[in-house]
């Protein structure tokens, strides 16, 4: 008979002290703290002040939480961290039985039907924005990529670009939200309700994205589709979610936010990683040149960008989201541990992707590990999460990044300046603190 142990028998992560728990260790070096958790065993408890999380480093247990036993876990603690963006009930916090059918309907459009159109727009945006980069003079590549991601996110959801000042405000707001999200996720909820300057900035940034989501969609856009489909009172199909305006605004703002910091950080890290491996960089851009044969990059070329896409997967392995959370809705056993209802769990793609037992030579940037193998295979690779809450924008992000990078690389030779000076900033993902580059026309 299989035995299970009580949660109280699970040890705390190293560095646990009375009252504050693991807060000092986590606060000092969050990334090193997360990456070191595997050394403490398959499962540990993490105390952060009054909050306690369970962390599994075994991918099979994580897969159980996200996929096999997903109906026993909620994501409603998300309201604490992102409440001002979504306001009330919303995609991010719907319980399993309402989330699943809603996501199935969204998936058809967001993850499949509209992706080629999003890829084409991303190529167009890259041509326009990168076309204005200064030649031969240093510029902030990270900010330029942030701007491009905001343009891509607006094009994908709203079906059109916004005027410069508004698009820049969208980009800044998404970064503000991302910068504060991890702390809000892990610290006690009451802290995020205090009238602190950081909390006020967070609320203002959420309000800006909500106002953009309310007012700017083009006729044939994804947002109009969402509005029409989910406002339809005649829609009696199984699991149909009837949206209020408030709900639509929250979900649209979530989607707008979801694709900006994540995508721009990944593209910035992509250039940084290539700057550390010039020979590989040459091969990536030679592949783009040979696939396009000197023609303008188009959707038909995408399947030929194999090394470029492998390099993107590898970038997402080394630089994914830091953490996401779940809460057990009922008592449930995972990885041999009985988790009482209300237990909070922490999943860390960052830590899992750097575990040498799961990825040999984990700190080495080696895109070839993805050639000839599907990047989604295996439960240890979680850049977009897994299960019914897997990223709604996974295919969109990959298409936008591949096309944008191919366009940039086919017209510019980008050289990162002082690549050794970059440090990782913890936001929703990690991002390079400042990435300066010089671009020369090919």
Contact residues for ligand HEM, defined by CB under 6 A: 75, 91-92, 103, 110, 254-255, 258-259, 262-263, 266, 320-321, 324, 383-385, 389, 391-393, 396-397
Taking the complex as a whole, the smallest distance from the CB of residue 288 to ligand HEM amounts, in Å, to 20
- Write down the least CB distance from residue 390 to ligand HEM, Å: 6
Q: How far is the CB of 140 from ligand HEM (least distance, A)?
A: 20
Number of neighbours of residue 87 by Cβ within 10 angstroms: 17
- The C-alpha atoms of residue 248 and residue 271 are separated, in whole angstroms, by 36
Pick the closer one to ligand HEM by CB: 387 or 419: 387
Of 176 and 404, CB closest to ligand HEM: 404
Smallest separation (angstroms) from ligand HEM to the CB of 303:
20
- 3-state SS, residue 325: strand
Rg (CA), the chain: 22
> Token pair for residue 138?
């240093």
| β-bridge partners, 325 | 346
Q: Which is nearer to ligand HEM, 255 or 438 (by Cβ)?
A: 255
Q: How far is the CB of 84 from ligand HEM (least distance, A)?
A: 16
Nearer to ligand HEM, 98 or 442 (CB): 98
CA 101 remoteness from chain centre: 22
Q: How far is the CB of 26 from ligand HEM (least distance, A)?
A: 19
In this complex, which beta carbon is closest to ligand HEM, that of residue 26 or of residue 384? 384
Smallest gap, in angstroms, from Cβ of residue 322 to ligand HEM? 10
Among residues 111 and 231, whose Cβ is nearest to ligand HEM? 111
Q: Which residue is nearest to ligand HEM (CB)?
A: 393
Cα end-to-end span (Å), the chain: 66
Residue 371, both tokens? 């050639």
SS3 letters across 26-64: HHHCHHHHHHHHHHHCCEEEEEECCEEEEEECCHHHHHH
Please identify, using beta-carbon distances, which residue of 83 and 321 lies nearer to ligand HEM: 321
DSSP state of 297: P
Burial of 437 per CB tally in 10 Å (0-12, 13-18, 19+)? buried
Contact call for residues 158 and 218 (beta carbons, < 8 A): yes
Spatial separation of the C-alpha atoms in residues 247 and 91, rounded to whole Å? 9
Burial class (CB in 10 A: 0-12, 13-18, 19+), 100: middle
**Cβ proximity to ligand HEM, 66 vs 187, nearer residue:** 66
- What is the closest distance, in whole angstroms, from the C-beta atom of residue 379 to ligand HEM in the complex? 14
């Amino acid at each position: 008979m299989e035995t299970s142990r009580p949660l109280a028998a699970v040890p705390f992560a190293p560095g646990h002290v009375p009252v504050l728990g693991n807060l000092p260790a986590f606060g000092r070096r969050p990334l090193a703290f997360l990456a070191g958790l595997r050394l403490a065993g398959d499962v540990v408890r993490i105390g952060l002040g009054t909050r306690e999380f369970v962390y599994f480093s075994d991918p099979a247990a994580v897969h159980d939480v996200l996929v096999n036993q997903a109906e026993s876990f909620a994501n409603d603690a998300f309201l604490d961290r992102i409440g001002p963006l979504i306001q009330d009930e919303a995609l991010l916090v719907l319980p399993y039985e309402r989330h699943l059918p809603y996501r199935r309907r969204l998936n058809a459009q967001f993850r499949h039907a509209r992706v080629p159109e999003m890829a084409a727009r991303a190529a167009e945006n890259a041509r326009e924005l990168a076309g204005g980069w200064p030649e031969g003079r240093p510029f902030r590549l990270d900010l330029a990529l942030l701007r491009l991601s905001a343009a891509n996110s607006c094009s994908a959801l709203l079906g059109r670009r916004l005027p410069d000042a508004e698009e820049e405000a969208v980009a800044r707001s998404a970064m503000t939200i991302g910068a504060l999200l991890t702390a809000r996720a892990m610290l006690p909820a009451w802290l995020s309700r205090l009238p602190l300057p950081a909390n006020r900035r967070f609320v203002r940034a959420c309000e800006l994205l909500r106002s953009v989501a309310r007012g700017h969609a083009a006729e044939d856009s994804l947002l109009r589709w969402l509005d029409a489909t989910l406002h339809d009172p005649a829609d009696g199909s199984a699991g149909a979610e009837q949206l209020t305006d408030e709900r639509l605004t929250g979900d649209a703002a979530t989607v707008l936010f979801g694709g900006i910091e994540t995508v721009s950080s990944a593209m910035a890290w992509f250039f940084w990683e290539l700057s550390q491996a010039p020979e590989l960089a040459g091969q990536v851009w030679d592949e783009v040149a040979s696939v396009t044969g000197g023609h303008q990059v188009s959707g038909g070329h995408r399947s030929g960008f194999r090394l470029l896409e492998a390099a993107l997967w590898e970038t997402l392995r080394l630089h994914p989201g830091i953490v996401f959370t779940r809460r057990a809705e009922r008592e449930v056993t995972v990885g041999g541990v009985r988790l009482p209802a209300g237990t909070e769990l922490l999943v860390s793609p960052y830590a899992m992707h750097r575990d040498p037992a799961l990825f040999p030579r984990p700190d080495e940037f080696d895109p070839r590990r993805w050639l000839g193998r599907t990047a989604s295979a295996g439960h240890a690779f979680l850049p977009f999460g897994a299960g019914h809450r897997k990223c709604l924008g996974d295919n969109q992000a990959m298409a936008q990044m591949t096309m944008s990078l191919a366009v940039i690389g086919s017209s510019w030779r980008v050289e990162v300046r002082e690549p050794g000076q970059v440090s990782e900033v913890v936001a929703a993902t990690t991002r390079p603190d400042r990435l300066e580059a010089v671009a020369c026309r090919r």
